[in-house]
Amino acid sequence: MGILGNIFGKLFPSSHPANAPAAGAASPSNASASAPVASAPAAPTAMSEVDVEGMLDGLAAKSSEKLNWKTSIVDLMKLLGLDSSIAARKELAKELHYTGDTNDSAAMNVWLHRQVMSKVAANGGKVPADLKD
């Protein structure tokens, strides 16, 4: 699971579709040597919306640090108990296909925050409209 998956794991309940394994992921059940069985595509699962803003505001209120998750990817990751080091953020940038200069951490951080908020929203997270790309 990548860093974005770790973020989803902290924000969404384990039963939420955002935490489902990627389609086509290898698993013991599909690794047999027998011929593939044709099956109908799975019906789309109704995605329940998660109040990410409320959850993060609640965590921020309880934090001993003043963390501004609404503008800072570092603070967002800290609030979720994830590694927020430059190495972790560069890994997240690679995972999200950042094409800018990863040595320009300010620009990369702004881009990462927007991308993460957009991905969270696209996967059923309720986030403020001004935080989405």
Q: Are 3 and 86 in contact (CB under 8 A)?
A: no
- Phi first, then psi: give them for residue 77, nearest 5 degrees: -65, -40
Distance CA 114, CA 58 (A): 21
pTM: 0.76
Spell out the per-residue pLDDT of the chain, length 133, in tens. 699 999 999 998 776 666 666 544 443 344 444 444 444 444 444 456 889 999 999 999 999 999 999 999 999 999 999 999 999 999 999 999 999 999 999 999 999 999 999 999 999 999 988 887 6
Distance CA 132, CA 120 (A): 9
The encoded tokens of residue 102 equal 């990863």
Contact partners, residue 121, CB within 8 Å, separation at least 6: 127, 131, 132
